[in-house]
């Protein structure tokens, strides 16, 4: 059986009843539904894997300090950073959020990407700030600025006459130590949840490419194309899988990049500083030499991400109503991008990740989501309007784990409904189908998504 047949049989075989299946993480599914639901190891780990997982978990939770510290091995924060730990943004391995009103930047669980419309301004920004705003720095180095965030409420109407309101973020930069161009562009990205990533990494590139339809040859209004990115560990262009714009091809890439960009940790893969070219004090404070994140720690961190388990679907109450919800999910066209099932490669080196049918509800492709959601892109070939379909699994436990229900790349959507109503571009027809549905249909759909 070739890969496409494997995928198709998984889509139509007995496991598909996606409205019923509980094991949405395949063999990585566990049944912890407490606030640690995103943090549990896959149930089938061997004792050696569990030991390495434990160290990786420790690395993920490490509060890095400025070098040199009395405890060696866990120092090297900065010069520039956003938070001092992975778990600061990915709290309990979950999803970050935009700042609450009046909340200080040192509690950020998001990054802000920085760009400008004109090429000249972009070049200057790249020299003075770099691609991402660092809201914190070690002593002796200035942070790059403070974010200010406001929202504008935009009201709309469902076809049945009932009202809704969406909030559009307005981002500004204060106290920047660089001259800011008039055509500055800022885009907030909350930290995505990190469980189940091993499965996503273990899908064969061909199985992702199979769903790509960049010219919409099948005429369903949804195109979808892979992001092609370079990798620190593989030669040549790779299919991007991780991050809001699928900017990272492997978990090693993702972990090493985030460690450097967001915490300021060097590694053997990225031995440079995270200072922009004209940030002199930052460059002076940077200590080259030994990697902050040793190969051993980076490997255990990646192993940890690879083997974090996936929480089973939240208590599936009323099967009939979930069936109705799933009907709506397919009828409205949600499943064209939020594809229920995926299958991992059957040659993956880790037996746990081999040939697993799982239900991420994503095709891991880029889709044009319209101008309303557009945001700075510096990742691979993704345009401003293109976003990777985010997986929906675990969404029902978000409030339990992270204490909020904020969705989309910048957390502007306060609920599943709002996230749907923000869909534009290729998602427009699904949004319109939702908007035109009855209250009962809409709530069946939301209940279904909430059950994932």
Partner 1 sequence: MQTEIFRFNDAPIDAPATSARAEGPESRINAWPVNEAAIDYVRGRPGSGLVNSPEPATEQLILDRNQSTDESDVTTGWHAIEFLLWGQDENLLGPGQRPAKDFEPGDLSRENRRAFLRIVSRILVRDLDYLADVWRRDSPGSYAQQLLAMDPLEVIGRALQGATSLVSIELAGERLAVALDSGSQEDEHSCFSDTTHLDLLHDVLGVSNFLEGRYEGERTGAGLLELIAWKSPSLGKRLATALATAQLEAANLHVPFDQILQLSSDRPERRQAERTVTAMHELALALKASAESLGLHIVVPGV
Residues of the shown chain interacting with partner 1 in the complex, contacts defined by CB under 8 A: 30, 32-35, 37, 40-47, 49-51, 53-55, 57-58, 61, 63, 71, 73-74, 83, 85, 87-88, 91-92, 107, 109, 309, 400, 403
> Where would I find the beta strands (DSSP E) of 303-443?
310-311, 342-343, 357-358, 366-368, 386-388
Q: State the minimum distance, in angstroms, from the CB of residue 332 to partner 1.
A: 28
* Minimum CB distance to partner 1 smaller for 92 or for 324: 92
* Minimum CB distance to partner 1 smaller for 109 or for 437: 109
* Minimum CB distance to partner 1 smaller for 308 or for 446: 308
Nearest CA among 210, 213, 212, 226 for reference residue 3: 210
The vertex-241 CA angle with 405 and 40, nearest 5°, equals 55
Q: State the minimum distance, in angstroms, from the CB of residue 286 to partner 1.
A: 21
* Minimum CB distance to partner 1 smaller for 86 or for 285: 86
Q: State the minimum distance, in angstroms, from the CB of residue 61 to partner 1.
A: 6
200: left (phi over 0), alpha (psi -120 to 50) or beta: alpha
Q: State the minimum distance, in angstroms, from the CB of residue 93 to partner 1.
A: 9
* Minimum CB distance to partner 1 smaller for 47 or for 217: 47
Q: State the minimum distance, in angstroms, from the CB of residue 105 to partner 1.
A: 12
Q: State the minimum distance, in angstroms, from the CB of residue 208 to partner 1.
A: 28
Q: State the minimum distance, in angstroms, from the CB of residue 88 to partner 1.
A: 5
* Minimum CB distance to partner 1 smaller for 74 or for 329: 74
Q: State the minimum distance, in angstroms, from the CB of residue 439 to partner 1.
A: 22
In whole angstroms, what is the distance from residue 292 CA to residue 271 CA? 9
CB-side exposure of 448: number of CA atoms within 13 Å? 27
**What size, in residues, is the chain?**
452
* Minimum CB distance to partner 1 smaller for 366 or for 446: 446
CA torsion sign, 249 to 254 to 256 to 260? Answer: positive
Q: State the minimum distance, in angstroms, from the CB of residue 201 to partner 1.
A: 19
Q: State the minimum distance, in angstroms, from the CB of residue 431 to partner 1.
A: 30
Q: Which two tokens stand for residue 320?
A: 């009939």
In whole angstroms, what is the distance from residue 447 CA to residue 396 CA? 9
* Minimum CB distance to partner 1 smaller for 46 or for 165: 46
Q: Enter the DSSP assignment of 418.
A: H
Say if residues 118 and 183 touch (Cβ distance below 8 Å): yes
DSSP 282-339: HHHH---SS-SS-HHHHHHHHHHHHHB-EEPPP----HHHHHHHHHHHHHTTGGGTS-
In whole angstroms, what is the distance from residue 378 CA to residue 170 CA? 20
* Minimum CB distance to partner 1 smaller for 34 or for 157: 34
* Minimum CB distance to partner 1 smaller for 11 or for 55: 55
CB neighbours of residue 42 within 10 Å? 26
Q: Enter the DSSP assignment of 353.
A: G
Nearest CA among 128, 159, 155, 158 for reference residue 144: 128
In whole angstroms, what is the distance from residue 246 CA to residue 249 CA? 7
In whole angstroms, what is the distance from residue 182 CA to residue 150 CA? 19
């Amino acid at each position: 059986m070739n890969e496409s047949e494997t995928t198709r049989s998984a889509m139509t075989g007995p496991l598909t009843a996606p409205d019923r299946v509980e094991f949405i993480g395949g063999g990585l599914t566990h049944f912890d539904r407490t606030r640690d639901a995103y943090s549990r190891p896959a149930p089938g780990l061997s004792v050696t894997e569990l030991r390495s997982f434990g160290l990786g978990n420790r690395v993920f939770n490490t509060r890095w300090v400025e070098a040199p510290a009395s405890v060696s091995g866990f120092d090297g924060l900065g010069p520039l950073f956003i938070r001092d730990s992975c778990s600061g943004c990915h709290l309990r391995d979950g999803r970050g959020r935009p700042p609450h009103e009046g909340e200080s930047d040192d509690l950020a669980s998001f990054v802000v990407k920085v760009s400008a419309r004109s090429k000249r301004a972009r070049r200057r920004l790249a020299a003075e700030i770099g691609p991402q705003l660092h809201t914190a720095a070690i002593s002796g180095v200035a942070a790059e600025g403070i974010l200010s965030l406001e929202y504008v409420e935009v009201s709309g109407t469902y076809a049945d006459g009932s009202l809704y309101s969406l909030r559009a973020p307005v981002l500004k930069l204060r106290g920047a130590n660089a001259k800011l161009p008039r055509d500055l562009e800022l885009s907030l990205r909350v930290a995505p949840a990190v469980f189940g990533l091993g499965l996503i990494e273990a899908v064969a590139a061909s199985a992702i490419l199979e769903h790509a339809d960049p010219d919409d040859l099948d005429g369903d209004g949804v195109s979808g194309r892979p992001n092609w990115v370079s990798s620190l560990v593989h030669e040549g262009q790779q299919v991007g899988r991780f991050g809001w714009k699928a900017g990272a091809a492997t978990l090693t890439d993702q972990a090493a990049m985030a460690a450097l960009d967001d915490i300021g940790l060097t590694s053997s893969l990225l031995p440079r500083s995270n200072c922009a070219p004209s940030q002199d004090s930052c460059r002076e404070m940077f200590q080259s030499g030994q990697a902050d994140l040793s190969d051993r720690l980076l490997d255990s961190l990646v192993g940890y991400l690879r083997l974090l388990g996936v929480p089973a679907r939240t208590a599936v109450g009323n099967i009939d109503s979930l069936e109705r919800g799933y009907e709506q999910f397919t009828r409205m066209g949600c499943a064209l991008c939020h594809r229920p099932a995926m299958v991992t490669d059957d040659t993956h080196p880790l037996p746990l990740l081999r040939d697993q049918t799982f239900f991420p509800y994503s095709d891991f492709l880029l889709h044009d989501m319209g101008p309303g959601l557009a945001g700075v892109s510096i990742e691979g070939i993704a345009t401003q309007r293109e976003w990777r379909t985010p997986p929906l699994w675990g969404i029902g436990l978000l409030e339990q784990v992270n204490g909020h229900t904020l969705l989309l790349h910048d957390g502007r959507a306060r609920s599943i409904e709002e996230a749907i109503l923000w869909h534009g571009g290729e998602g427009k027809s699904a949004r319109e189908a939702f908007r035109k549905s009855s209250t009962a249909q809409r709530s069946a759909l939301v209940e279904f998504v909430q059950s994932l």
